[in-house]
Structure 1
Amino acid sequence: MRPPAVLDGVQWHALTHAYGSAEDVPGLIRALYQGDEEVAGEAIYELYGNIHHQGTVYPASAPAVSFLAHAVLHAPGRREELLMLLAVLADHDPADIESPHWPVSSVAAVCAELCWVLPDLLPCLKDPERGVRRAALRVVAAVAELLPAELRFFAVVQLEGLYSTDPVPAVRADAMVALARFGREMPALDSPLPEVRLAAALLAAERSGPPYPAELVEVIAEDGAEPDPGDDDFPWSGTTTQEERLTRLLTRDPNAGLAVAARWITASDIGSRGSWLAQKIAETWRDREPEVLDLQLAALPHQKDARALAGRLRTIGHWIERLPEPGAGLRDALHRYASTDDETAEPALLALVRSRDPRALELVLRRPSARMLEAAAQYFPGAADQLIPVIRRELAAGATGNTGIALVEALAPFGTAARRAQPELVDCLKTGRAAIVAARRIGLNGIRTQETTDLLRNAAQSTDSSLSAAAAVAHYQLTGDAGVTLHAFEGLLSARGQTHCYLSSLQPLGSAAAPLLPLIEPLLEAGYEWTRMAAAEAHHRITGSPDRAVPVLVDLVGPTPVGLRALQALATTGQVPDELRSTLRAFFFSPLRLLSDAPLSGQGHPDEELRTLARTLLTVGHCSDREGQPDRSAAEPLR
């Protein structure tokens, strides 16, 4: 260990951390000794941000270790926080030490320093404060496989003592986990202490892998419903919290995870742990929505505050459209919450709308908001006579920003009925309120007046490139004259920037956009994958030939947002190369979700679209066994 008196002996200015020069590190370490709790806390916070930043360590991290170890023993207070900082600095996957880059890595240097000072820190395992003992256990476990034999033996002896005699069950459980890092497995599933049983079950499940044995699932369900509230202050290596570790483990086995979630919800869903676990399983695994929604419904009465309740309602709202016929019990519960005046009403009403319950429309009309009107239009497209007047009224009142955008977008499901809102759309274009989406809707409405075409022509010259593109295309849709559009897009495609955003809007022009091909064809080889995708899509729509587009699109197909868009574009070509079929089969038959569904965003289910597209494309180009029946080999699972 090194005291602060020798801090200046390190050339900190020549070392770096997350924010550049490490010359601020000595001052932060000295602040730990000032006897001011607030100052020390701020210094630790800063150290977490620079010498350890989002799981990464730097050249300045290792030289700080011996000084931090001295502060653990000699600075007033903050011992457990400093010990946890040392533990996370040394965080690594044991497999990393086999890497040829390990000896020269910053984390290897941190671990070497920690091994050197560890003998001085081992007395912290007997500290009277439980938090210090728990943090010290993390420090020992962080370098377990790197300790020399003598120190390793001494550390194991101390860990065994803690496991056998510590008065705090959580410390005993931690000692058992630390012993496992040294290869010592303790048979503790029948321990009288729930904390120890739970830790033993987690270790056994990690070793066995899914599907987990029933006896382990039973222990986790029974003993994990109400964890030690301080556990999340002491994460183990590779996790951010104990909760994350437990959730990650259970999510790997959906049957076990849902069984545990059900038990935890029955036991009052403390901290929303059961309902959160069920949500993570829905995000991770396909076709579990019915079970998950049943659990979310059961969890609603157990939520202790409005924020937790709103979270559960948002989860229901995201997945409920996946049910062909949402049950009456679920819809009635949503209606009760949606009829209130508190902060749970909005997510409940959105979920009720997505359940296609007719009562939702009445509530939306009673308390209209842009978001609810947009959702109601999507799920009740037959209610144009009721919704369009409200949308028009809100637009006429001067809606701006995201509110105005949502109101204009709400007109999309109504087809030709959306023409009733033409005056409000024209006013949006005039005043610059939601002008981009208004221009697009005007083009689709097809109502041509001199005023409208003049407005679009002027907007096509806007310095706002998105507005210019939307207005130029809308002008073509109304007039059939490609001149304005081609002039605008020549400038857009010649400039640097997000050209893929503009290319995608060229679809209505078809072959009329042919003069732009000299600008589009080089983009088929652009470095940015979104640009290549949009260029291939545009090239096919303009030329009608898939020859140039298909190779580009096939290369981009994958379980990513751009890969999904490439698959959508490929579907329009009607061509599916044979080499892509194994990928499509993997997309279709995967039990895991391959694309994130962003469950709180309300933006739909891209993974479902990926699966549907894969299924559709697998039938393209195959002969039929019978009239109208695709070849079964196209969709048979891999064996």
Structure 2
Amino acid sequence: MEGLDEIPWGELRHNDGAACDVPALLRAVAGGHEAADALEELAGLLFHTGERICTAAAAATPFLVELAEDPDVTVRARIVSILAENASEAELIHDRCPVDPAWFSAWAAAVLELVRLLDDDDAGVRRATAYALAHAGPHTDAVLPALLARFSVEPDPVTRRDLVLTVARLTAYEPSDRLAALRDDPDPRIRLAATFGGGRTVSDPGTVIDATALEDVSSVDDPSEIVRAFAVHLIVAGGSASAHRDRLAGLLGDRTPLSQGMAQLTGDLAVWGLSWAGDRRAQAGLLDRLTDRWSSWPPDARRYDASSYGIDLPGLDELLARLDGWSDALLPAVRATLSRTWLSQVQIPLMRAPARWGPAAAPAVPELIRMLRIGARRWAATALGAIGPDAAPAVDHLRDLLRHDGAASGERPLWNDERVEIAWALWRVTGDGRDAVRVLTRVVEPLAEGRALPVMRTATRYLAGIGPPAAAAIPALRAALALDRRLAHHGGWRAFDEDRRQRDLARDALRRISP
């Protein structure tokens, strides 16, 4: 590590302050039984998720690359992985968070050095290098030939898969003859990687599913389990679950994690697929998940950009929204969870299910009334409104909340979004618009002065739904439409969009209130 002591480390910064301790940690990584611990300590100091790329990171990068190239260093694959993670983070945050300008030139030099590790004797190092080179960015033209050359001779199947995914990422997942040809590769890993790599151009993801991909294996670390998880996800996400019901049913008890550190299991994918296919063999597993007896289903969905493919599950409310035909079987579990004495993160998406199921969710009215009392007013009111007249036992509770503004028992006042949902629920349940129109009109009145909030669009839509009984809102809506200013809460392009939406809703409300 020539030149290590010539760098003014005391003038550079890492996550804990001055970087004076970096040289000693780099030397500890270079040799000795404490290399792994030293590397993790160094990673914690140099790399920070989501906030910045510090000045010491750029200075340390060439030395980390040198260590990764040294066959006597015992943690080379991990070094390359850490460099890759930092490169990925810099890509994500460079336009909104501090990134040391020296980082980009340091990473550019590192990329050209790391290419040589594609031919390393250690398969772990080669895999980490493939991952790192996926972030080559402007140096793609220099990296692609080396990736393709390595693929032609690479014996390790997992590394071959990673090479395909890296090529796909560097070519922006565009249609490619190379990837198209690999969809017929005899190795299911390569077929899957090629399918994901060309994900936006593949019309039938089911073409990569075969018995090998779904083969039961015992080792969590076996690459075939990764293949299996991706294959099952493709079956379900690609809309082919109905054609593979029996094969999915055989995986309902599969407790293999989808990836390291994830609570979700391959069996969760099978439950999802069979549920949306209307196959009642999924009900037992689904009930287990609703009552937290087996695994942790994500309450809310994750989102990815169009170029990414993640083995994700729908959020709990998204899963249940399409299962209104099963409400009779699922409601007991939903009600049991809503009856818990504390408000948990799983209860809110469970309240969204009755909101989608409508009158079929009427047996859950007692639990929804309870949720009104313990603070989940908005979601409980939305569900009660969707149920309609069958939610009559909730009327007194809804009226009390509106008339006392939620503070009758010393609780906090209602928020506007809660007022709006409670008012709409009261109208939907009773057909009596007096309290509802009073509240909704008060919410939209600031529009007449040019003050707009997102909740006002919801209130305007509900006033339209009430129709002629909502005549009290006419002056405010007309005044808002007459204003020569945008009815928007946010700026930029959203100001134009919000203004159009609010004005369209106001016009529709006026037409329906006074036909």
Matched, 1:509 2:427: no
The residue number in structure 2 matching 1:45 is 40
| Shift of residue 129, structure 1, vs aligned partner | 4.3
Contact 1:428 1:435 in 2 (8 A): yes
Which residue is equivalent to 2:406?
459
SS at match of 2:294: coil
Find the aligned partners of 1:145 and 1:449 in 2 and give their Cα distance: 64
Query: How much does 1:457 deviate?
Result: 0.9
| Match of residue 477 from structure 2 | 544
Q: Report how far residue 262 of structure 1 moved.
A: 4.6
**Structure 2 portions without partners, runs of 5+:** 92-98, 218-223, 257-264, 299-315, 464-472, 509-515
Using the size of structure 2 for normalisation, the TM-score is: 0.58
The reply to whether residue 470 of structure 1 matches residue 418 of structure 2 is yes
Deviations along 1:258-278, whole A, 9 cap, x unmatched? 311357546569325355356
Write the distance in 1 (CA, Å) between the matches of 2:456 and 2:422.
20
**Is residue 60 of structure 2 the alignment partner of residue 64 of structure 1?**
yes
Letter in 2 for 1:271: E
Match in the other structure for 2:227: 273
Find out whether 1:12 has 2:17 as its counterpart: no
Q: Distance in 2 between matches of 1:472 and 1:353?
A: 22
Shift of 1:216: 1.0
Deviations 1:358-416 (A, max 9, x none): 6x73x447xx322xx5xxxxxxxxxxxxxxxx89xx75x85754576678767655659
Q: Give 3-state SS (helix, strand or coil) of 1:252's partner.
A: helix
**Cα drift, residue 142 of structure 1:** 8.0
Which residue is 2:243 aligned to? 294
In structure 2, the partner of 1:521 is 450
Query: Residue 382 of structure 1 aligns with which residue?
Result: none
Q: Deviations over 1:87-142 (max 9, x none)?
A: 66667999xxxxxxx99552113434776xx59x96x7887644456667888998
Give the CA deviation at 1:315.
3.2
1:224-623 maps to which residues of 2 (within 5 A)?
Answer: 224-225=188-189, 246=194, 248-255=196-203, 257-262=205-210, 265=213, 270-271=224-225, 273=227, 276-277=230-231, 279=233, 288-289=238-239, 291-295=240-244, 298-301=247-250, 305-307=254-256, 308-316=265-273, 320=276, 326=277, 331-335=279-283, 343=294, 354-355=322-323, 361=328, 363-364=329-330, 368-370=332-334, 373=335, 395=339, 400-401=343-344, 421=365, 432=374, 434=376, 437=379, 453=400, 456-457=403-404, 459-460=406-407, 464=412, 466=414, 470=418, 474=422, 509-513=439-443, 516-517=446-447, 521-522=450-451, 524=452, 531=453, 533-535=454-456, 542=473, 543-545=476-478, 547=481, 552=487, 572-573=505-506
| 1-structure distance, mates of 2:420, 2:179 | 63
TM-aligned CA distance change 1:77 to 1:508, over 3 Å: farther
Question: Which residue identity lines up with residue 216 of structure 1 in the other structure?
Answer: A
Describe the superposition over 1:578-634 as per-residue Cα deviations: whole angstroms up to 9, x where unpaired. xxxxxxxxxxxxxxxxxxxxxxxxxxxxxxxxxxxxxxxxxxxxxxxxxxxxxxxxx
Change (3 A) 1:474 1:310: same
> How far apart, CA to CA, are the structure 2 residues paired with 1:429 and 1:134?
52
* Equivalent residue, structure 1, for 2:307: none
User: Does residue 25 of structure 2 align to residue 28 of structure 1?
Assistant: yes
TM-superposed CA distance for 1:312, in Å, is: 1.3
Same amino acid, percent of matched pairs: 17
Show the 5 A alignment for 1:79-90.
79-86=76-83
Q: Distance in 2 between matches of 1:200 and 1:409?
A: 42
Deviations 1:327-371 (A, max 9, x none): xxx615325756989738999x9979945666x73x447xx322x
| Shift in Å, 1:14 | 3.0
Distance 2:490 2:121 in 1: 61
Cα shift readout 1:208-263 (whole Å, capped 9, x = no counterpart): 9437589714433x213489xxxxxxxxxxxxxxx8x6564042222253311357
Q: CA RMSD in A?
A: 6.2
After TM superposition, the score normalised by the length of structure 1 is 0.49
Identify the residue that residue 216 of structure 1 maps to in structure 2: 181
Letter in 1 for 2:55: P
Give CA-to-partner distance per residue, 1:124-174, whole Å, 9 cap, x none: 78876444566678889988997xxxxxxxxxxxxxxxxxxxxxxxxxxxx
Contact preservation (8 Å) 2:255, 2:267: yes
Distance verdict in 2 for CA 1:309–1:333, change over 3 Å: farther
- Over 3 Å counting, the alpha-carbon distance change for 1:472 and 1:108 in structure 2 is closer
For each residue in 1:500-522, what CA deviation from the matched residue of structure 2 results, as whole angstroms up to 9, or x when unmatched?
Answer: xxxxxx9873445565446x623
Q: Look up the match of 2:144.
A: 181
After TM superposition, give the deviation of residue 64 of structure 1 in Å.
Answer: 0.8
Q: For the structure 1 residues 464 and 247, does the alpha-carbon distance in structure 2 shift closer, same or farther, using more than 3 Å as the test? A: farther
Secondary structure of 1:62's match? helix
In 1, Cα distance between equivalents of 2:205 and 2:180? 14
Q: Distance between the aligned counterparts of 2:211 and 2:195, measured in 1? A: 14
Which structure would you say has the larger Rg? 1
| 1:299, distance to aligned residue in structure 2 (A) | 4.0
**AA of the residue aligned to 2:144:** R
Query: Which residue identity lines up with residue 509 of structure 1 in the other structure?
Result: V
Offset at residue 471 of structure 1 (A)? 5.9
Which runs of no fewer than 5 residues in structure 1 stay unpaired? Answer: 95-101, 147-176, 228-242, 321-325, 374-389, 483-505, 525-530, 576-639
